[in-house]
Chain A
Amino acid sequence: NAGVMQNPRHLVRRRGQEARLRCSPMKGHSHVYWYRQLPEEGLKFMVYLQKENIIDESGMPKERFSAEFPKEGPSILRIQQVVRGDSAAYFCASSPQEDSPLHFGNGTRLTVT
């Protein structure tokens, strides 16, 4: 059973460009979470999705950031008009049920130049 797959592993964008981060949850997992890790810090919750629904986006910046988890395909975290402060590692996690432990992917390191 493959783990949580995130791609790309590394992503470099210039200021003002768009970044798209992809996450395929583990097989059988319908709950997806996105976390952000700034340098030298712990992970910070961004958003929690189930298929086609955003359940909790309380950790998501109000502007430029959006997330989706369509019926078919991976979950996408989209950052528009990236700025240097968006440089971070973005982690996706999935679980089969709401109260099950999270399984994390290896993260995508976004660098904004």
Chain B
Amino acid sequence: AQTVTQSQPEMSVQEAETVTLSCTYDTSESDYYLFWYKQPPSRQMILVIRQEAYKQQNATENRFSVNFQKAAKSFSLKISDSQLGDAAMYFCAHGGGSARQLTFGSGTQLTVLP
């Protein structure tokens, strides 16, 4: 069974600064995907970034990037130049070979301070 652990229930960052959210996971699969989702107060789940485990290169989407350490089973999210709109709950998730059943962490509530 897969597990995903987010050890930071809450984080805060000053606007325009950089923040890193931590995530570790455990899996017995060799082929899998990792995701970061953002959930603002509207409750919508928004895909921020996706990483295929077979790819060594870290995924990047504009101000969002990941540090994927496969051997350590670590998948952290870095948000650069933080904006007020980045404030949300962030969930790390693991998907199996077909990525159909996602296992989510418990989330990190990010506050962006003006």
Contact = CB atoms under 8 A, between A and B. Distances in A.
Contact of A102 (B42, B43, B47, B91): B47
Contact of A45 (B43, B50, B98, B101): B101
Contact of B44 (A40, A100, A106): A106
Contacts of A95: 100
Contact of B42 (A45, A98, A106): A106
Interface residues of A, number: 29
B106 A107 contact: no
A40 B39 CA distance: 12
B98 A43 contact: no
Interface residues of B, number: 24
A48 interface: yes
A103 B105 CA distance: 18
A71 interface: no
Interface string B76-114: 000000000000000101000111111111110000000
A99 B44 CA distance: 21
A91 B100 contact: no
A104 B45 contact: yes
Contacts of A40: 106
B12 to A, nearest CB: 18
B98 A42 contact: no
Interface in B37-55: 37, 42-47, 50
Nearest to B42: A106
Interface string A97-113: 01111111111010000
12 contacts: A42-B4, A42-B93, A42-B106, A44-B104, A45-B102, A55-B100, A93-B45, A98-B98, A98-B100, A99-B100, A102-B99, A106-B43
Given A43-B93, A43-B102, A45-B102, 17 more contacts: A35-B102, A41-B106, A42-B105, A42-B106, A45-B101, A45-B103, A55-B100, A95-B100, A98-B99, A99-B33, A99-B98, A100-B99, A101-B50, A103-B47, A104-B37, A104-B45, A109-B43
